[in-house]
Amino acid sequence: MADSTHTSDSIYHRLFAYPEMVADLLRNFLDADLLAELDLSQMRRLNTKFTAKMGQRRRGDIVWEIPIRAGGSLFLLLLLEFRSEVDEWMVLRLGVYTGLLYQQLVDERKLKPADGLPPVLPVVIFNGETRWDAATSLRELICLPAGSPLWKYQPEMRYHVIDEGRFPEEDLKGLQSLTAIFFRIGHPGSPASILEASRDLVEWFAKHPEGPPVKRLFRELLAVGLERFKVPHSVPSIPEELEEVVNMLATHVEKWSRDIEQKGWQAGIQAGEQAGEKKGKVEMLTRQLQRLFGDLPTWASDKIAKADLSTLEEWSLRILDAPTLESILADPS
């Protein structure tokens, strides 16, 4: 099975290679006042070279040049983050990328200081299970007291984050957005929610037959979405046609949901059994130690309470030959 993180990264990278998808993303997930400044009908993709200068090639960096209605252009720096953990240094990385992008523009377009630099809009799309809580401003990471005269010499950097998992499913449904449907499929709450999003996708393409050619990407993303649930039996091959995909999902989703519920119920029973077994061992070990040493100090009671089953078993055996409480509760070798 392919790594789902890498697969999602690749799918989204290809998805946002289409200007229609980038425009849909911005229209639905960008502030309206900022959106009003841009002409999304005339954007064009920029072939960036600055990632190679950093010694690594990042698949998730996409740059689009978008005309500003008042004149000039804005450069959208779109980063796709599909790692499970939050990058606490994202704003610092973006500062580096922005500088390298500016250097590329200066070199290729022969810009002079009198020409000025175009504005850059950094946007991060995050697909992880945790919620994004990293600093979005570089100044949040700089250690200086308020009012310090050094602040005027410090760099400034800020970015906009689109954290997929932060949006309630009902809010995404209300957007009537192709990007929002893809978010729902790639970050589903249940197999049934994938089925509902798939039906909405069929309806969207029925209303927009001229839409971008991303149906194959939908099939790939669907497979990634289903992997999240680790259904206990094999997933059938995904049909080519969207309508057939919906029929396949409708046939299997109820069974998958029952399997997942059963699997969770069994896991809950197992966890309960383990918790009961541990409670019994903790109580038995505590009573044995109290008979040998009297009332236990707080540190000993806390250590016993936090120990796992194998450690409790080892400590119980040590009672037979270890002379002191400290030696009995020493960490396992």
- pLDDT for 6-47, tens place per residue? 566 788 888 898 999 999 999 999 999 999 999 999 999 998
SS3 139: helix
Query: What are the pLDDT digits (tens) for 40-97?
Result: 999 999 988 765 444 454 445 799 999 999 999 999 999 988 777 899 999 999 999 9
pLDDT at 6: 56
Q: What is the mean pLDDT of the chain?
A: 82
Mean pLDDT calculated for residue range 248-268:
56
Q: Parse the chain into domains and list their residue ranges.
A: 1-166
Whether the predicted pLDDT of 127 surpasses 80: yes
Rounded CA-CA distance 66/43 in Å is 4
For residue 144, is pLDDT > 90? yes
Tens digits of residue pLDDT in 198-245: 888 888 888 888 888 887 787 777 777 666 655 545 455 655 666 666
- Give the long-range contacts of residues 73-76, CB within 8 A, separation 24 or more: 73/118, 74/37, 74/38, 74/118, 74/119, 74/120, 74/121, 75/46, 75/101, 75/105, 75/118, 75/119, 75/120, 75/121, 76/22, 76/26, 76/43, 76/120, 76/121, 76/123
Structure tokens at 96: 């580096």
Predicted confidence (pLDDT) at residue 176 exceeds the cutoff of 90: no
Lowest mean per-residue pLDDT among 106-115, 218-227, 260-269, 313-322: 260-269
Give the separation between CA 46 and CA 62, rounded to whole angstroms. 8
- Assess contact for 316 and 285: CB atoms under 8 A: yes
280 compared with 188, residue with greater pLDDT? 280
Q: Residue 307: pLDDT above 50?
A: yes
Of 252, 263, 268, 191, nearest to 222 (Cα)?
191
Q: Could you tell me which of 93, 137, 95, 141 has the C-alpha nearest to residue 120?
A: 95
